[in-house]
Amino acid sequence: MSLFSSDHKAVARRYLWSGLGFLLLGGLLALLIRWQWAYPGQPVPGLAWALPESRGALTPPAYTAVFTMHGLIMIFFAVTPLLFGALGHFVLPLSIGARGLAFPRLSVVGFWLYALGGALVLGSFAVRLGPASAGWTSYPPLSTPAFTPGLGQTLVTVAVLCAGASAFLYGLNFIVTVVRCRAPGMTWGRLSLTVWGLFFASVLNVLFVPVLAAATALLLMDRLLGTQFFIAGAAAVGGGGDPVVYQHLFWLFGHPEVYILILPAWGMVGDFVAFFSRKPAHGYRLTAGAMGTVTALSGLVYAHHLFTSGMSPLLGRTFMVLTLLISLPAEVMYLNWLMTLWRGSVRLTSPMLAALSTMIVFGLGGITGLSLGAVATDVPLHGTLWVVGHFHLTMGAASFLAVFAGLYFWFPKMFGRALHEGLAKAHVLSSAVLFLGVFGGQLAAGYAGQLRRLYDPYQYTYLKHLLPLNQWTSACAFLLGAAQVLFIVNLVWTLARGRAVGANPWKVGTLEWTCAPSPPPAWNYDPVPEVLRGPHALSQPEVLAQLGRDWMGQAEPMPDAAETEPGPVDAEEPGRVSTSGGAA
């Protein structure tokens, strides 16, 4: 297939392979961080060729570059492209009954902008003075030439601009596609929750990625053109600017980015718990409304990242209230997931295990984040590993598990072959348990006072006793890295010799599984289906009586021509079923 094909499925596959490659690179960098915390200053096995002057040991500058590039790669070039570039591009048109995206060529442009950014990131490792080393947030003055000279920081700054432009383009494309390209009968109340999550996240991309682009462009001008937007103090000439302005701009994007990454995950979890509990999604409208409420509030909570920056106490109190308020719709959604599971006929497939694991790690991440949303508890915890453990559970582990839930679910549709279920389940379960070990250990170390970004924490007497804890946490991290071999083996084996599957191996009713072959043709549907019901028409007595199965397709008419809707299901609210159906 051409590298420049505008078929959304081809674009999705390009994002998939690129995103998995960067996920591998970002994971290896994470293991280097864990090695340094467990064995500070000791040579890393196999790294002597890259750091000959230190015989393979991480030096303080190398360590700073490693944790900087780990964060940048994971967020901008791994998880986000996998969620949106791979799963979003593939699933969204198929789920709404469209023959493609609204602007197919825009998808191609977006991918190549992302690829250009990725090439700049890789190139930054080869330049003199190394890659970026100002932290993944690139705070000035650390990211100015005075503190990070050399070409590496500049290349990575341009790479972030490219990734942001790509995200803006596919966000705009997704929004227009959902609004204008839905199949006949695909009302807003019949969209899958996955599409709702992608749609709301795309709205945030279009609104807030330009803020990141503005901050990054101004920072780039400070580096290259001698401007002083974010340079102050002794380094400034003629007054200078204010580095805290950059922090406001960055977090005005940075906190919505948390929801950009988690909204598609929430949507997939909502769908998968319904599909594999064989029940309509409880509170479908409430769940979609909760995601919309989080989207609306997401730009109003960003300044809790700045409680320690000298912010006015009155302003801090306002952002504290808003931050705690945004947790309420998330709780509503979480309760709906639990009610969907309650008394369901649960099938522990690999996508279901990954969805349940996402629920667990996200729940723990959300609870630990409450202490960071309140001023009194954020002040002592800010800058410690507690923050690192929290956002890795919320953004890292939850998004990672959701990505693999989606891959295991839609892989048969992408490639016509099913991944091995035993290997997939082992991968999901081992990853989930080890995630809790790694990031739970970070929470414990942070609560004990260990600051983040320290090259050798044990130079401080009060942190020396944390060495065994960090070594145990690092052991979990190394095992977590080893567990990913299960996925790699599964992927390679399946693509080479995996068993072919039918069009609907999961026995669910959404359009991509009931109206398109696996893999779908370039035009997706011929003819375009006419949608008759919502995505969760499961365990309906009339369907069981007439068709002998517990699911029904969204575009499938009932055998009785006089009745095109199953009796207990409300077409605009798939979560509502009658009590006679045995589900609530």
Domains of the chain: 8-497 (1.20.210.10)
Tell whether the model's pLDDT for residue 561 goes beyond 80.
Answer: no
**Tokens 């599909």, located at residue:** 275
Backbone angles phi, psi at 570, to 5 degrees: -85, 125
Query: What does pTM read for this prediction?
Result: 0.93
Most confident of 43-57, 239-253, 335-349, 559-573: 335-349
| Nearest residue to 451 (alpha-carbon basis) of 373, 367, 381 | 381
Contacts of 211 (CB under 8 A, 6+ apart): 249, 252, 253
Tell whether the model's pLDDT for residue 241 goes beyond 60.
Answer: yes
Tell me how far CA of residue 584 lies from CA of 169, 227, 422, in angstroms. Answer: 40, 61, 32
Contact 123, 155 (CB under 8 A): yes
Give tens-digit pLDDT for 450-492. Answer: 999 999 999 999 999 999 999 999 999 999 999 999 999 999 9
Backbone angles phi, psi at 154, to 5 degrees: -65, -45
Contact 34, 479 (CB under 8 A): no
Tell whether the model's pLDDT for residue 260 goes beyond 90.
Answer: yes
pLDDT band at 564 (very low <50, low <70, confident <90, very high): very low
Tell whether the model's pLDDT for residue 526 goes beyond 90.
Answer: no
Contact 246, 140 (CB under 8 A): yes
In this predicted structure, what is the pLDDT of residue 54? Answer: 83
pLDDT band at 427 (very low <50, low <70, confident <90, very high): very high
| Nearest residue to 498 (alpha-carbon basis) of 509, 485, 489 | 489
Q: How far apart are CA 315 and CA 481, in angstroms?
A: 42
In this predicted structure, what is the pLDDT of residue 53? Answer: 83
Q: How far apart are CA 447 and CA 441, in angstroms?
A: 10
Tell whether the model's pLDDT for residue 434 goes beyond 90.
Answer: yes
**Tokens 């006929």, located at residue:** 345
Helix (H, G, I), strand (E, B) or coil at 417: strand
In this predicted structure, what is the pLDDT of residue 566? Answer: 42
- Mean pLDDT in residue range 434-453: 96
Q: In the chain, what percentage of residues exceed pLDDT 90?
A: 84
| Nearest residue to 34 (alpha-carbon basis) of 364, 442, 434, 486 | 442
* Burial of 189 (C-beta count, 10 Å sphere; 0-12/13-18/19+): middle
Give tens-digit pLDDT for 169-194. Answer: 999 999 999 999 999 999 999 999 99
